[in-house]
């Protein structure tokens, strides 16, 4: 259980890392206990690099990272006994274990708080058997096993990097339910990198958008859904471009209709009403399109800075 004195479950102050073709950071991010944060971005945007820094698998070139008010390297053991991690790729092959049982026994010994009953329940839930050979596990089975190992010691924080990759729909649903059950245990925190929008919609409280190593912002998911809207109107698109809240205007091909993307639906709706515009339809903007717009805004700022 997280102490009441802990202000942030995760606090990243200007952390950055140069790796081959990508520069990540500087990242500024504070995550309060009790939330599920979805880290969303395209492949190669820096999500896994960020997670590896949080788990001290790689060290930031600059900046600092605090986990539950503790820091690497002096508090590494204490941090990792309170933080579960499912990496993008399994990391146990070098350990030389043959069967699930042997690997699980090894993992359990590292955690004083290992809950054997919880591990047994999750093994049953995900149809895992201790006698199964690790080399015969499918990608989905490996993800299930990694999740059990990350959760069974009841950590305060879970880092989940593309957790559900390779899962069938039934296993995916079970995994979503287990993350929800984990969050029922108190002021726990989940940071999950994902490209599956349904996961974001179903369990995330906040969304962190990352693109080309830069954090574009941390947003309340419900606020994004409420604030970002599409309006379809009759008329020339040019006259709508400078209205309050408008992020983009597109002409619908083959029609006299324009589509407005607004980042502040209340402001845009009021301006449209005042202008006497006839709104044909209003819909929420999907999260992938919100990300696209934020990326375009970021690239526009970078272009202006270079000009």
10 Å CB burial of residue 297 (0-12, 13-18, 19+) is middle
- The pLDDT tens digits of the residues spanning 13-59 come to 999 999 877 889 899 999 999 999 999 887 888 899 999 999 999 99
Q: What residue ranges do the domains of the chain occupy?
A: 10-223, 227-306
- Distance in angstroms (rounded) separating the CA atoms of residues 22 and 41: 14
Q: Please give the DSSP secondary-structure letter assigned to residue 34.
A: T
Give 202 or 159, the one with higher predicted confidence: 159
> Could you give the percent of the chain with pLDDT greater than 70?
93
CA-wise closest residue to 33 among 158, 121, 138: 158
Instruction: Please tell me the predicted confidence (pLDDT) of residue 236.
Output: 64
How many of the other CB atoms lie within 10 Å of CB of 296? Answer: 12
Which of these ranges, 32-46, 205-219, 239-253, has the smallest mean pLDDT? Answer: 239-253
Residue 307, pLDDT > 50, answer no
Q: How many CA atoms lie within 13 A of 148 on its CB side?
A: 28
- Distance in angstroms (rounded) separating the CA atoms of residues 227 and 278: 20
Reported pTM? 0.85
Residue 123, pLDDT > 50, answer yes
User: Domain 10-223: what homologous superfamily?
Assistant: P-loop containing nucleotide triphosphate hydrolases (3.40.50.300)
Instruction: Please tell me the predicted confidence (pLDDT) of residue 3.
Output: 46
For 227-306, which CATH class?
Answer: alpha beta
The most distant pair of C-alpha atoms in the chain lies apart, rounded to whole Å, by 71
User: Do the bridges between strand 189-194 and strand 36-40 make them parallel or antiparallel, or are there none, so unpaired?
Assistant: parallel
Residue 5, pLDDT > 80, answer no
Instruction: Please tell me the predicted confidence (pLDDT) of residue 1.
Output: 47
Encoded tokens for 58? 């790689």
Mean residue pLDDT across the chain: 87
Residue 237, pLDDT > 80, answer no
């Amino acid at each position: 259980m997280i102490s009441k004195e802990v202000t942030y479950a995760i606090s990243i102050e200007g952390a950055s890392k140069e790796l081959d073709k990508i520069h990540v950071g500087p990242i500024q991010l504070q995550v309060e206990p009790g939330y599920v944060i979805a880290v969303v971005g395209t492949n190669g945007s820096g999500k896994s690099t960020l997670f590896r820094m949080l788990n001290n698998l790689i060290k930031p070139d600059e900046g600092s990272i605090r986990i539950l008010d503790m820091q690497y390297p002096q508090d590494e053991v204490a941090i990792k006994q309170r933080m579960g991690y499912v990496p993008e790729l399994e990391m146990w092959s070098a350990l030389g274990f043959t069967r699930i049982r042997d690997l699980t026994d090894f993992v359990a010994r590292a955690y004083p708080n290992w809950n054997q009953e919880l591990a047994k329940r999750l093994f049953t839930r995900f149809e895992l058997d201790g006698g199964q050979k690790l080399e015969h596990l499918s990608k989905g089975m490996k993800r299930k096993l990694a999740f059990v190992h990350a959760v069974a010691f009841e950590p305060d924080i879970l880092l989940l990097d593309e957790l559900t990759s390779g899962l069938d729909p039934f296993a995916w649903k079970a995994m979503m339910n287990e993350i929800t059950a984990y969050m029922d245990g108190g002021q726990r925190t989940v940071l999950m990198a994902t490209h599956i929008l349904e996961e974001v919609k179903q369990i995330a409280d906040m969304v962190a958008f990352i693109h080309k190593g830069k954090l574009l912002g941390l947003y309340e998911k419900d606020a994004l859904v409420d604030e970002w809207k599409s309006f379809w109107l009759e008329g020339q698109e040019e006259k709508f471009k400078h209205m309050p809240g408008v992020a983009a205007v597109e002409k619908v091909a083959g029609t006299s209709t324009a589509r407005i993307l607004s980042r502040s639906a209340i402001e845009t709706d009021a301006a449209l009403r005042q202008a006497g515009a006839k709104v044909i339809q209003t819909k929420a903007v999907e999260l992938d399109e919100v990300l696209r717009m934020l990326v375009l805004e970021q690239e526009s700022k970078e272009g202006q800075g270079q000009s």
